Chains A and B, each alone.
Chain A
């Protein structure tokens, strides 16, 4: 049987080119070469697989020339046509971790070649990519190389052979949000007792089902200088220009609107209305300021209480809209608000 073909991606540091000063090293394909951590993989693969090429790329280069670097590396991988792609391990190196996740994800998505990476759980790349690429949890420094390779190598071989991948706790990858059944060595009651004894003794234990992340948002510190602050209005009350030009749904909204209120001093019955289907719209339609208080903020602007009212407002209908959608909307327009220099937002509901 022919050997499994592996392409390995590492950064400039692990390729022994240099540290931060060499981080602008552009992507380079080294056919037939096994470099740095590749040696450990080679040892682990024995005769079952071989690294047919190593791709080296500087972390700054990758992150600063994302599109080009990605395209170049994808072309290199495509040309080599491996059975599996390994990136890293990146340990606690943030930009390296993000590069590993990004390129591994791209290789899977665009070339259909399975990929595996590895990094420390607090590496920003972990949160970004653990749900997309099998990401082995490693120690936070290169001292954990042996341990990392011991998990990544077998996982890579399994992926190459298209074997079924076991559960995260057995294979060593970070939980990826997909619940998978398997048989434990002990029955549940015994596991519960062991867990309780550990918890009672203050020892470490691992829950079998981590509770979903609770989205508790701590309030931001108060705005110190309101008189010079730019304030924006955002609402889930569905206020839109008359006629609802973007057709925001009356419930379970799939989009939000961004509207310019430059020069608008007051929302009137003829100019604005609500798209919201979850409350009686009569009073909102009569005077949309009741939901989106443009008039009052213009007053405050005039009085010098606030610096100015931002010229754009963002709106959607909160009625039955999925939390995930709301979050996605906010993530998008928050960036615009920050870019526009907005200091604070008044969020109105219904």
Chain B
């Protein structure tokens, strides 16, 4: 089994990796996925992929998948800094369009999953 956990709110990630990978799915918004990850980091998990992956800005996409280590070590300041500043950054994008057409939502899921895939490719290499 892999040594990482995927924290996500993207249903497509669950569909694709549901049984192969360890996934924690939360039905929360983008920002709250970052908060979930922050809680993990405070518990000593390592942050493995960048919380602000992708140029689709927070607020434009509801989806976010982030990879953390399964191993729990000691709290690392650099990860705390990165996740905290990422959460702050999300707060800057106050304009949040409501997306309700299925095609766009699917596209956004695809992009999030592809970004995650590129982290998985590195992690599994």
Chain A directly contacts chain B within the complex, with at least one CB pair under 8 Å: yes
Residues of A within 8 A of B (CB): 278, 320, 323
Give complex CA distance A320, B37 in Å: 12
Give complex CA distance A323, B88 in Å: 10
Give complex CA distance A323, B39 in Å: 17
Q: In the complex, what residues of A have CB within 8 A of residue B42's CB?
A: 278
Q: In the complex, what residues of A have CB within 8 A of residue B119's CB?
A: none
| B35 lies within 8 A of chain A by Cβ | yes
Q: Total A-B pairs in contact (CB under 8 Å)? A: 5
Q: Is the interface of B mostly helix, strand, loop or mixed?
A: helix
Rank and list the top 5 A-B pairs by shortest CB-CB distance, nearest first: A278-B42, A278-B39, A320-B35, A320-B38, A323-B84
**Nearest-CB distance from A199 to chain B (Å)?**
26
Q: Is the interface of A mostly helix, strand, loop or mixed?
A: loop
Give complex CA distance A6, B38 in Å: 53
The chain B residue sitting closest to A324, CB to CB, is B88
Sample (5) of A-B pairs whose CB atoms are under 8 Å apart: A278-B39, A278-B42, A320-B35, A320-B38, A323-B84
Q: In the complex, what residues of B have CB within 8 A of residue A320's CB?
A: 35, 38
Q: In the complex, what residues of A have CB within 8 A of residue B39's CB?
A: 278
**Nearest-CB distance from B80 to chain A (Å)?**
11
Q: In the complex, what residues of A have CB within 8 A of residue B84's CB?
A: 323
**Nearest-CB distance from A330 to chain B (Å)?**
17
Give complex CA distance A71, B87 in Å: 43
Give complex CA distance A168, B123 in Å: 46
**Nearest-CB distance from B19 to chain A (Å)?**
30
Give complex CA distance A276, B115 in Å: 35
**Nearest-CB distance from B55 to chain A (Å)?**
19
Q: In the complex, what residues of B have CB within 8 A of residue A323's CB?
A: 84
Give complex CA distance A300, B73 in Å: 33
**Nearest-CB distance from A259 to chain B (Å)?**
26
Q: In the complex, what residues of A have CB within 8 A of residue B35's CB?
A: 320
**Nearest-CB distance from B29 to chain A (Å)?**
15
Give complex CA distance A323, B87 in Å: 12
Q: B2-15 vs A: 1/0 string, CB under 8 Å?
A: 00000000000000
**Nearest-CB distance from A216 to chain B (Å)?**
12
Give complex CA distance A323, B38 in Å: 15
The chain B residue sitting closest to A251, CB to CB, is B35
Q: In the complex, what residues of B have CB within 8 A of residue A278's CB?
A: 39, 42
Residues from 75 to 95 in B contacting A, C-beta threshold 8 Å: 84
The chain A residue sitting closest to B87, CB to CB, is A320
**Nearest-CB distance from B57 to chain A (Å)?**
17
Give complex CA distance A260, B8 in Å: 45
Residues from 11 to 36 in B contacting A, C-beta threshold 8 Å: 35
Give complex CA distance A278, B39 in Å: 7
**Nearest-CB distance from A261 to chain B (Å)?**
28
**Nearest-CB distance from B51 to chain A (Å)?**
15
Give complex CA distance A320, B84 in Å: 9
**Nearest-CB distance from A31 to chain B (Å)?**
47
Give complex CA distance A278, B41 in Å: 12
Give complex CA distance A278, B42 in Å: 9
Give complex CA distance A160, B39 in Å: 51
Residues from 50 to 82 in B contacting A, C-beta threshold 8 Å: none
Give complex CA distance A278, B84 in Å: 15
Give complex CA distance A18, B39 in Å: 62
Give complex CA distance A275, B52 in Å: 31
**Nearest-CB distance from B43 to chain A (Å)?**
9
The chain A residue sitting closest to B42, CB to CB, is A278
**Nearest-CB distance from A238 to chain B (Å)?**
14
Q: In the complex, what residues of A have CB within 8 A of residue B38's CB?
A: 320
**Nearest-CB distance from A104 to chain B (Å)?**
30
The chain A residue sitting closest to B84, CB to CB, is A323
